[in-house]
Chain A
Amino acid sequence: MISLTTPISDSDIRSLKVGEKVLLSGTIYTARDQAHIRLIKEDNPPFDINGSVIYYVGPTPNRPNMPIGASGPTSSYRMDKLAVPLMEKGLKLMIGKGDRSEEFRTQMIKNNAVYLISTGGAGALLSSKILSSELIMYEDLGAEAIYKLTVKDFPCFVAYDIYGNDIFKN
């Protein structure tokens, strides 16, 4: 088990090996299909993509006095192509679920990034690791908008590392 705090450095990336449990703390950003389509066209997004973490999630609405609703991962493969320009700008970690394309893996290794998975369908459990959420971009997208999340010991597993290993083929 390894604990990581954002922003993520190249040496953090080198330390991650497939199958290992990661407890992530700090700031992460939510984005799904529609937010990616817009974000890759932004010249000056309001957060630094270099060293950042993107979580593929569209939470349920939060109740009063709760930081966020249920927040489990969505399938990552839909963001395979859209992730490339962001990795080229320094995106270091992506959190989602399920396997991704060969092209994605090649680009991920080339850009020194890592793909993590968290337990799909465990939205209630995972939301308990999120301390706060703040809408920062694309309010009109509703659950698909970009939120800045503060997380503490958010549990993930390394799915693809930079050494070419694959959790789905172990």
Chain B
Amino acid sequence: MRKINLLEVTNIVKKSVIDINYNLDQSLVSLIRKAKDREIKDLSISILSDILENQEIARKGQVPLCQDTGVVVVLLEVGTEVTFEGDIYEAINEGVRQGYKEGFLRNSMVFHPFNRVNTKDNTPAIIHTKLIQGDKIKLSIASKGGGSENMSKVVMLTPSEGIQGVKKLVLDTVFAAGGKPCPPIIVGIGIGGNFEKSAILAKEALFRDLSDSSHDETIKNLEDELYEEINKLGVGPMGVGGETTCLAVKINYFPMHIASLPVAINIQCHSARHTEVEL
């Protein structure tokens, strides 16, 4: 059994949350640049220029890209051949606590649905744990903003609604969201499993590499078609109209009950802040 140093986990989470909030992923920046080149309207070009200039200011000044520095989401994969001396969840939360303080990031978590009192250190992180083979642990860490999360949804379709039903649901959801989730967006979709599994699949889809495609041909085609059709909706940057509404569509799927076709749509704003670390 390999012993994992929890202090190291805390440090990695701390560094990661600061880093992702200051430095936008360059593959994402290059997609935004291409989107800007495609735009025709001055207003849409101006908004994409702001977004590009913003990430330069944030990188050079080492300041947050966005005031909504998000809720920390961690996909934690734990090898069955590792042990921890202590509480891995607390180690992650300590990293969040230190990172949000030292990085001057905004604390956006409140304790209770109705009293809305801030937890003042952005904990707790939302942590999804999975067991894997081997003697390593992997943390996929995101700072997820509230505006785009609010436009996300889970719908239980019936199997007969099929691909067309999924497409209609996704297009309707993105169109109705308009400028609220800060387009151009990335759309993470989970199909199958059950009610809660579909939502986790959609979240996991948002962590995928921007340039990859589903290994399943039908799903890959659906990703490509939805990408084209979402961009034909004309929502455009920040909802003011334009050629680019989404930068990528990622679909993850899982087996499901014969009676069900669960679909979750998790919307990600243009400031997609996440990273992966293996220990």
Contact = CB atoms under 8 A, between A and B. Distances in A.
B57 A69 contact: no
B63 A120 contact: no
B240 A168 contact: yes
Interface stretch (A45-53, A54-62, A85-93, A106-114): A54-62
B30 interface: no
Interface in A36-81: 57-63, 69-72, 74-75, 77
A26 interface: no
A124 B64 contact: yes
Contacts of A69: 63-64, 67, 104, 106
A167 B239 CA distance: 8
Interface in B54-74: 54-55, 57-58, 61, 63-69
A119 B47 contact: yes
Say which size band chain A's interface belongs to. 35 or more
A146 B182 CA distance: 24
Contacts of B104: 60-63, 69
A61 B68 CA distance: 11
Contacts of A70: 58, 63-67, 69, 106
A168 B239 contact: yes
A153 interface: no
A59 B66 CA distance: 9
Interface in A126-170: 126-128, 141-143, 155, 157, 167-168, 170
Interface in B69-115: 69, 104-108
Interface string B33-50: 000000000010011001
Interface residues of B, number: 39
Given A59-B106, A70-B64, A119 B239 contact: no
A70 B63 CA distance: 7
A99 interface: yes
Nearest to B63: A124
A122 B46 contact: no
A105 interface: no
Contact of B240 (A60, A71, A170): A170
Contact of B179 (A61, A168, A170): A168
A123 interface: yes
A75 B104 CA distance: 22
Contacts of B238: 97-98, 117, 119-120
A127 B271 CA distance: 16
Given A61-B105, A170-B241, 11 more contacts: A19-B43, A34-B116, A70-B65, A98-B178, A121-B51, A121-B65, A121-B66, A123-B66, A125-B57, A142-B118, A168-B240
The 5 closest A-B pairs by CB, nearest first: A98-B180, A119-B50, A122-B54, A120-B182, A125-B54
6 contacts: A34-B116, A61-B105, A63-B63, A97-B180, A123-B64, A143-B118
